Chain A
């Protein structure tokens, strides 16, 4: 009766030797990072670090060798990713491309696009942003209005994207535009494009988040020319492609590890002899963590087996973000420290950072409500 299932996944021995390699690399690279910096892992945009990761062969690990990939298993990639995230490595300059833009091109891109973009991605030299949301289209993504009109040799784009993480630093954006308008069928007439973020007519304006940081942006398109050969996939196939891309975006360990650094510091703070109350709270969080990791690994196993774990990914993301949001709550309940920003102890700053970031965990990549809707559809309720 169940539309989903989680088989346990066992990591092969070669994945474990890879793990030690990654750990050693990260120890050398991240030595001095503070807990708050580590917690910013996927906000951390560090092209030099990404190039080093590329040199080690840890970007595009599962892709064909002819595109610069390494033809390794999804499970080995999983190990690299979870080690990076647990250590709080600054992965933002490469991992959007590794996680979704590259795989999208592999699946739907032309041979020329693959040749042109994938090798540079695997070297850690080419970074991507995700151009989906618009001012009037968040959860209802299919309602987007930014238009790409046919002109000789390509398309002319007008409109705006918002919340585009790292648009100001990424080289390219994979953007969803409307190529055809049919009020009766909003899912039809969408297409995806590779857009050079330095194209004439593009204005990228910072949007400062509630904590005062700048990581996402508004991206305005004014008569921006996109050549025909940078359309990804068929014209009009954008909706199918973007849902595939979203499944890739939701399937990884990043969806339960965002507050991991705070759990580690919580253990430090309660000492080796915690009281009963602290021990109970800590034991419960570790039980959730261990279970989420097995669920997330199980998804990696399904990807490795060529299955389509969309539902499972939605389910783990909802559970995982709930867990990520709970850790700061538990710290508040147990330790009674004030969250701070810019001053205070490492723990206070880390708590301050995550307290302010936590609301976004259940928004980015599809809100909690949208995920539960996807699960309900899987249950046959809609």
Chain B
């Protein structure tokens, strides 16, 4: 089963050393090659186009595992980018891909220049904007939503990191040459990058929360104080019960959003998932640290590889406030009496 294959691969390869090296800026070349050769980067690309010809369910398995193991690669981003490209009928280049624009207020402008196309504008916080070979952009042009492929080197790169020391670059494009462009596939809205970025982050967070639960439960049975495992204290038991609730809620919300993506319009479910998983991430990280005591607060211990990612991912591609505002406005516009029929129609 895909889940087992992925879990085994990441358990073996995404070690503490590898994560620390990645935080020092080292690109895990051989891990990337293995992941790419296994077809994990292209579950949503048809086999005829060199992909794995899978479903969003497969994508979900991979993205969730990437979150659980804190995989320091733009693997989820590549999955979405390759899906957007192939959905627009474009070829998918090899190598890591990234997505832009990430933030609501960053606009990228596509313009025709004779037979070719050019891109201008600035996109901040682009995941692995330096390491990725190509950037996939969704932007409006000619009154339609277009998918465009650029070489990562075609823009100015200003390096930065998120809390988990994952690269988050600012890319500045100045009439940069577009390698390929085509109208986006069905159901791809103008904000597709932010939307599907939120989708992958919600499943990564769900995976991260599962890790926190497993680790915290294990630690609570191993660590002893007052002559017994700390997990024997009711206060700790209840904290872990809450953590398992948050982990389960994030997992269901994310899985539901991936299932909706299979069907086309997933805007409602993705907003729900990003809001719910983001809130769970905040609560879950706090509980995991409380249960671990001081040792979990050290760089030496591995807990922070996931908690720092949860804090970062929660804010990326729109935080809870951002998505809640959009969702709340949409619900209000539909009116009070539409809530239940709308909800049960999903």
Contacts and interface: CB of A to CB of B under 8 A. Distances in A.
A270 interface: yes
10 contacts: A1-B214, A4-B244, A279-B328, A282-B332, A287-B323, A290-B253, A291-B249, A373-B234, A375-B244, A381-B231
Interface of A is mostly: helix
Contacts of B279: 284, 287
B248 A376 contact: no
Interface string B301-335: 00000000000000000001101111111011101
A287 B275 contact: yes
A355 B341 CA distance: 26
B9 interface: no
B241 A376 contact: yes
Contacts of A272: 332-333, 335
Interface string B216-234: 0100110000000001101
A278 to B, nearest CB: 7
Contacts of A376: 231, 234, 237-238, 240-241
B113 interface: no
B346 interface: yes
A320 to B, nearest CB: 10
A295 interface: yes
Name the residue in A284, A293, A375 with the highest tally of chain B Cβ atoms < 10 Å from its Cβ.
Answer: A284
A379 B279 CA distance: 22
B255 interface: yes
B339 A263 contact: yes
B276 A287 contact: yes
A149 interface: no
B328 A286 contact: yes
A62 to B, nearest CB: 20
A381 B320 contact: no
B336 interface: yes
B321 A264 contact: no
Nearest to B253: A291
A274 B329 contact: yes
A283 B324 contact: yes
A257 B22 CA distance: 46
Interface in A121-155: none
A307 B327 CA distance: 35
A372 B252 contact: no
Interface in A313-331: 315, 318-319
Contact of B244 (A274, A287, A379): A379
Nearest to B346: A290
A373 B253 contact: no
Contacts of A247: none
Nearest to A322: B245
A276 B217 contact: no
Interface string B55-95: 00000000000000000000000000000000000000000
Interface in B274-305: 275-276, 279
Given A287-B327, A315-B245, A369 B253 contact: no
A284 B242 contact: no
Interface size bracket, A side: 35 or more
Name the residue in A268, A287, A382 with the highest tally of chain B Cβ atoms < 10 Å from its Cβ.
Answer: A287
A216 to B, nearest CB: 27
B25 to A, nearest CB: 33
B279 to A, nearest CB: 7
Contacts of A369: 238
A19 interface: yes
B115 interface: no
Interface string B229-273: 001101011101110110011011101100100000000110111
Contacts of A287: 253, 271-273, 275-276, 279, 323-324, 327
Contact of B237 (A274, A276, A372): A372
Contacts of B335: 267-268, 272
Name the residue in A294, A371, A373, A380 with the highest tally of chain B Cβ atoms < 10 Å from its Cβ.
Answer: A294
Given A82-B344, A279-B326, A294-B256, 20 more contacts: A1-B217, A86-B340, A263-B339, A278-B332, A279-B325, A283-B325, A284-B328, A287-B279, A290-B256, A319-B245, A369-B238, A372-B242, A373-B234, A375-B240, A376-B237, A379-B237, A381-B220, A381-B221, A381-B232, A381-B240
A294 B248 CA distance: 11
Interface of A: 1-2, 4, 6, 8, 19, 82, 86, 260, 263-265, 267-268, 270-274, 276, 278-284, 286-295, 298, 312, 315, 318-319, 369, 371-373, 375-376, 379-382
B336 A8 contact: no
B340 to A, nearest CB: 5
B337 A264 contact: yes
A289 B339 CA distance: 10
A361 to B, nearest CB: 16
Contacts of A281: 324, 328
A266 to B, nearest CB: 8
Contacts of A19: 344
B1 interface: no
A264 B336 contact: yes
Contacts of B327: 279, 282-283, 286-287
Nearest to A1: B214
B343 interface: yes
Contact of A291 (B238, B244, B252, B340): B252
A287 B268 CA distance: 9
A4 to B, nearest CB: 7
Nearest to B247: A2
A283 B268 CA distance: 10
A82 to B, nearest CB: 7
Name the residue in B236, B269, B275 with the highest tally of chain A Cβ atoms < 10 Å from its Cβ.
Answer: B275
A366 to B, nearest CB: 13
A289 B340 CA distance: 10
B240 A270 contact: no
A4 B217 CA distance: 14
Name the residue in B232, B242, B279, B324 with the highest tally of chain A Cβ atoms < 10 Å from its Cβ.
Answer: B324
A136 B244 CA distance: 32
Contact of B320 (A284, A294, A312, A379): A284
B318 to A, nearest CB: 11
Contacts of A274: 328-329, 332
Contact of A290 (B236, B272, B337): B272
A271 B332 contact: yes
